[in-house]
Amino acid sequence: MNNSSIIKPRKLSGFMELLPNQQLIFDQMIEKIKSVYLKHAFLPLDTPVLELSEILLAKSGGEIDKEVYRFNKGETDICMRYDLTVPLARFVAMNSEILHYPFKRFQIGKVYRGERAQKGRFREFVQCDADIIGNGELSLVADAECLKMVDEVFEKLEIDIVNQISNRNVLFGYIEGLGYKNEIKKILTVLDKINKIGIENAKAELSDLGVDQENIENLIDIIQKHGKFSDILSKIESLSSNPTFLLGINQLKEVYQYIKSMEINEDKIELNLSIIRGQDYYTGTVFEAIIPQHKEFGTVCGGGRYDNLATYFTDKKFPGVGLSIGFTRLFDLLLSNNMLTQIPTTNVTLQIIPLGDTIKECLQLKEYFANYFVCEVSYEERSFKAKMKDANKKEIPFVIVVGEDEVKTNVYSLKDMRNSIQYNLSKEDCLKTILNSK
Amino acid sequence: MNNSSIIKPRKLSGFMELLPNQQLIFDQMIEKIKSVYLKHAFLPLDTPVLELSEILLAKSGGEIDKEVYRFNKGETDICMRYDLTVPLARFVAMNSEILHYPFKRFQIGKVYRGERAQKGRFREFVQCDADIIGNGELSLVADAECLKMVDEVFEKLEIDIVNQISNRNVLFGYIEGLGYKNEIKKILTVLDKINKIGIENAKAELSDLGVDQENIENLIDIIQKHGKFSDILSKIESLSSNPTFLLGINQLKEVYQYIKSMEINEDKIELNLSIIRGQDYYTGTVFEAIIPQHKEFGTVCGGGRYDNLATYFTDKKFPGVGLSIGFTRLFDLLLSNNMLTQIPTTNVTLQIIPLGDTIKECLQLKEYFANYFVCEVSYEERSFKAKMKDANKKEIPFVIVVGEDEVKTNVYSLKDMRNSIQYNLSKEDCLKTILNSK
């Protein structure tokens, strides 16, 4: 084939593609998240990436439509999923009779949003979701269980977070109590973007909505409250006698009791009344975890309680609570900020290098070691020197050289590449030496 | 929301969606495959599901075009990947300068083919591929390494297979040696479909291609040879003196030497000259694993050696050898033939059920047990009886009931649900009892 027919290899922009040694770490972190979900008795679900557009777009307004990958295949109007929640709702509605409740499922999979490509935004990204779905009703223990999993996931990932927790009823009821029942959504929208637009602009917008000066101060004041649960609760609980407000306070108190029983690390959580989470469907507990050392990363995990999961697909009521980690974005941030302590070049512990015609003996030796750690034979046609150089470049910790003498005597030269110490040992002693040094 | 606005929940046909307890087993089997790939020093790659159509369809003739999911997003002509090989070729061509060779990567991911839906055919399916790519050249040890991995994967999955191995040069050279150089591809096509069309039809087609009677018998004879490597090799090695034939014989002999060094279970492999693997790009070793007890399943794993991976994307030569498992189809077959020994209802070992107002103590108790096995608290608002019934229905092996007395005395009633034996024990002894019984 000549040059003229060669197509320049390239990928679509906005799609992450890691090098295999980076992908190894990515996968290991995903495994850790999965292990926490499994530990809490969540079972995996894997819905198709493609769904009928009628299903995926059942609830959507305009915005998601533009982002979504949508096309026809034959007569069928198809979308690529843009989140894992609508597929969950569809699944629960379809299988509601055979599921056990509370139904706990996790789903770790790719979702697709064709938004404008920009740094840190991906058109394909892995989401790690876990949700608890009740049949008709759902205990607040479920909310605490999600908070516990957030705690454990980031503990396991060795990432320092603070999970900022609130309850939408508190702010909702507070605003209602101030007398702005009809403006609640608009006021919440302003308060939700206060970090973006700044306090002064927020005040102006609140004023435009007809909120008077004193109440603007009250609102700014309450959403700035954050800190230890017990401190904040005692400061705010008497701020209003609105029933929704009091409901929210009581839900927070109850969740906090469970938090203590579950031994959630209290340094890693705070009650923070600025947490609103724009989306309409949250109805109680809401939370957003941030990395305090890197506030610019924004929310690395979020979630909350919703009254009704599957309202577009069934008359039955399925309240739920869940958490979601946008892992592709998080990994990209960790990688580009050098926050992944080590990206190894390889997963190989021992490289076996033949010297002369000993390839078969090397392969046999690999069988011996391969039950204990990852082990590789240098079987490519290159010089011995080049192979040693490669092992060094790949930062493989141990090398065994197998020449014809070694085969005869069953004594092998084992080299610890990290300190250049060389041993002459039987294969059994090579094994012990490597295992002891790990 | 009233009934009229409810959309009937349904998924696209031809897409597998397992129940979560089935998905748990699916995932565990995938983990086993992955662990074998990792053990042999393969690193993971995860290419995007979407690629430019120009890239994915670089080499395709008409057939794949029809199957492929292809659409425009804005100005961009996009395809969903239909295999993992073209993305690998694109990746290697793009990153050829920074990879270490032989480059060993595995990719476990979904691919998409919009073919007509029929039983056992999926439009979205998980493929588990592993390939070894050389830079310019690649030792035959790599071929044996792939065979070794097939052996280990199915050993680990506890599925009895026979991996049928051949080398395309043998048949190619044999046909050439008979004097049908210009008809080789057509003759191979007939021989490749002999199991579908039957021997008599194959003979007729060969005759139509101008093969004479004696040679038809020779061809039918050679492709029916299968059995132990050493037996078959000694029977066929003198059948032709064609150089390509002899090359194939020598490659088989060399691979067989490595097979022995690698301690591949020889009961699980055979030399089988009927293995051709239609696709043009295989150039040496080819193999197809079947389940002898279920020949009707067809090939459950296949692969082989190819001369040049990335010919459409670069002038450089990248020979490779790889294996591929179409796992969604395999799992579907195992599931529908009741060959998965157990699909548990849950992964929970211990259910903790509160009796009275002891939910907080139950949650604390869960913290104690959760480090050892999966443990769940029944926190939903249901009767104690209903909770016990649920635990029974879900086949959870152990239940602890926590009443107010238990909290005071720290003696809990532990019930082994499998034999209905009940113990009254401290939490420490509950733990021991459960761990010992697993």
Give per-residue pLDDT as tens, A254-288.
999 999 999 999 999 999 999 999 867 899 999 99
Please list, residue by residue across A268-297, b when 16 or more beta carbons sit within 10 angstroms of its beta carbon and e when fewer do.
Answer: bbbbbbbbbbeeeebbbbbbbbbbeeeeeb
In this prediction, residue B296 carries a pLDDT of: 94
ipTM: 0.95
Q: How many CB atoms lie within 10 A of CB B6?
A: 16
Beta-carbon contacts of A390 under 8 Å, excluding residues fewer than 6 positions away, are A378, A382, B100
pLDDT given for residue B160 in this prediction: 97
Q: What is the mean pLDDT of chain B?
A: 94
User: Does the beta carbon of A6 lie under 8 angstroms from any beta carbon of chain B?
Assistant: yes
Nearest residue in chain A measured CA to CA from B91: A9
A52 contacts in B (CB within 8 Å)? 10-12
Residue ranges of domains in chain A:
20-336, 350-437
Res. A2 pLDDT band, cuts 50 70 90: very low
* Residue B44 structure tokens: 């993971």
Fold that domain A20-336 belongs to in CATH: BirA Bifunctional Protein; domain 2 (3.30.930)
Q: How far is A128 from chain B, CA to nearest CA, in Å?
A: 15
Q: Are A106 and A44 in contact (CB under 8 A)?
A: yes
A-B C-beta contacts closer than 8 Å:
264
Phi-psi region of B286 (alpha: psi -120 to 50; beta: other; left: phi over 0): beta
Query: What is the SS3 assignment for B227-281?
Result: ECHHHHHHHHCCCCCCHHHHHHHHHHHHHHHHHHHCCCCHHHEEEECCCCCCCCC
Tokens found for residue B68: 């492929």
What is the mean pLDDT of the segment spanning A327-335? 97
Amino acid at site B341: T
Residue A434 pLDDT more than 70?
Answer: yes
Q: Return the percentage of chain B with pLDDT > 90, whole number.
A: 89
Q: What average pLDDT does the segment A307-321 reach? A: 94
B376 CB contacts (<8 Å, ≥6 apart)?
A40, A41, B348, B350, B351, B352, B366, B396
pLDDT band with cut points at 50, 70 and 90 for residue B300: very high
CA B109 from chain centre, in angstroms, equals: 10
Q: What is the mean pLDDT of residues A346-355?
A: 95
Chain B partners within 8 Å of A110 (Cβ): 49
User: Is pLDDT at B278 greater than 90 in this prediction?
Assistant: no
B11-160+291-343 is classed in which CATH architecture?
A: 2-Layer Sandwich (3.30)
Q: Which CATH superfamily is domain A350-437 in?
A: Anticodon-binding domain (3.40.50.800)
Say yes or no to pLDDT of A63 above 80: no
Contacts of B283 (CB under 8 A, 6+ apart): B168, B169, B305, B306, B307
Any B CB within 8 A of A344 CB: no
Tens digits of residue pLDDT in B108-166: 999 999 877 677 789 999 999 999 999 999 999 999 999 999 999 999 999 999 999 99
Looking at the partner chain, which of B9, B363, B364 has a beta carbon nearest the beta carbon of A93?
Answer: B9
Task: Give me the residue label for tokens 């059920």.
Answer: B353
For residue A58, the chain B residue with the least C-alpha distance is B7
B26 CB near a chain A CB, below 8 Å?
A: yes
Residue among A39, A45, A346 whose CB faces B23 most closely: A45
pLDDT band at B245 (very low <50, low <70, confident <90, very high): very high
Q: What is the mean pLDDT of chain A?
A: 94
Closest to A48 (Cβ–Cβ): which among B17, B76, B95? B17
- pLDDT for A342 equals 80
CA–CA gap between residue A234 and residue A228 (Å, rounded): 10
Two tokens, residue B386: 């209903």
C-alpha to C-alpha distance for A338 and B404, rounded to whole angstroms? 51
Indicate whether A166 pLDDT > 60: yes
Helix (H) or strand (E) holding B416: strand B412-416
Any CB–CB contact under 8 A between A375 and chain B?
Answer: yes
Q: Chain B neighbours among A 46-105 (CB < 8 Å)?
A: 46-52, 54-55, 58, 69, 71-74, 76, 78, 89-91, 93-95, 98, 100-102, 105
Residues of A in contact with B375 (CB under 8 A): 41
Q: How far away is chain A from the Cα of B315, in angstroms, using its nearest Cα?
A: 7
Mean pLDDT in residue range A312-335: 96
In this complex, the residue of A73, A94, A363 whose CB is nearest that of residue B258 is: A363
Cα–Cα distance measured from residue A273 to residue A270, given in angstroms and rounded to the nearest whole number: 10
Contacts of B330 (CB under 8 A, 6+ apart): B297, B300
d(CA B67, CA B62): 9
| Res B432: pLDDT | 96
Q: Write down the pLDDT at residue A231.
A: 96
Of A9, A17, A58, which is closest to B48 when you measure between CB atoms? Answer: A17
- pLDDT tier at B248, thresholds 50, 70, 90: very high
Q: What are phi and psi of A181, to 5 degrees?
A: -50, -40
pLDDT reported for residue A197: 93
Separation between Cα atoms, residue B227 and residue B225, nearest integer Å: 7
Distance CA A324, CA A108 (A): 10
Per-residue pLDDT tens for B38-85?
Answer: 999 999 999 999 999 999 998 765 455 678 999 999 899 999 999 999
Put simply, the answer to whether B379 touches A16 (Cβ < 8 Å) is: no
Q: Do B360 and A257 touch (CB under 8 A)?
A: yes
Closest CB from B27, B58, B390 relative to A7: B58
Question: Which amino acid is residue A304, in one-letter code?
Answer: G
Q: What is the pLDDT of residue A276?
A: 93
pLDDT at B342 over 90: no
What is the pLDDT, as a whole number, of residue A243? 98
pLDDT in tens, A240-252: 999 999 999 999 9
Q: What is the pTM (predicted TM-score) of this model?
A: 0.96
Which pLDDT tens digit goes with each residue over B302-327?
A: 999 999 999 999 999 999 999 999 99
Q: Using alpha carbons only, give the angle B115, B119, B120 rounded to the nearest 5 degrees.
A: 80
Cβ burial B286-304 (10 Å sphere, 16+ → b, else e): bbbbbbeeeeebebbbbbb
Tell me which chain B residues have a C-beta less than 8 angstroms from the C-beta of A95: 19
> How far is B2 from A311, CA to CA, in rounded Å?
10
pLDDT band at A116 (very low <50, low <70, confident <90, very high): confident
Identify the burial level of A363 via C-beta atoms within 10 angstroms of its C-beta, where 0-12 means exposed, 13-18 middle and 19 or more buried. Answer: buried
Cis, bond preceding B102 (omega within 30 deg of 0): yes
DSSP states of A103-144 as a string? EEEEEEEEEE--PPP-TT--SEEEEEEEEEE-SS---THHHH
Could you report the per-residue pLDDT of A373-408, keeping only the tens digit for each? 999 999 998 899 999 999 999 999 999 999 999 999
Give A 281-300 residues with CB within 8 A of chain B. none
Tell me whether residues B102 and A375 touch, CB distance under 8 A.
no
Catalogue the E-assigned strands of A264-362. Answer: 269-272, 282-290, 301-306, 320-326, 350-354
- Please judge whether A124 and B50 are an interchain contact, meaning their C-beta atoms are less than 8 angstroms apart: yes
Q: Is the pLDDT of residue B2 over 90?
A: no
Question: Which of A112-121, A125-134, A220-229, B101-110 bottoms out in mean pLDDT, i.e. has the lowest?
Answer: A112-121
Q: How far apart are the first and last CA of chain A?
A: 49
Report d(CA A152, CA A47) in Å as an integer. 26
Q: Is pLDDT of A62 > 60?
A: no
How many angstroms separate the CA atoms of A245 and A403, rounded? Answer: 79
Among the listed residues B314, B232, B308, B235, the one whose alpha carbon sits nearest the alpha carbon of residue B269: B232
A372 CB neighbours in chain B (<8 A) are none
Count CB neighbours of A107 within 10 A.
24
pLDDT score, position B4: 56
Q: Find, among B14, B310, B397, B391, the residue nearest to B136 by Cα.
A: B310
> Can you say how many angstroms the Cα of residue A114 is from the centroid of all Cα atoms in its chain?
20
Give B391's contacts in chain A (Cβ within 8 Å): none
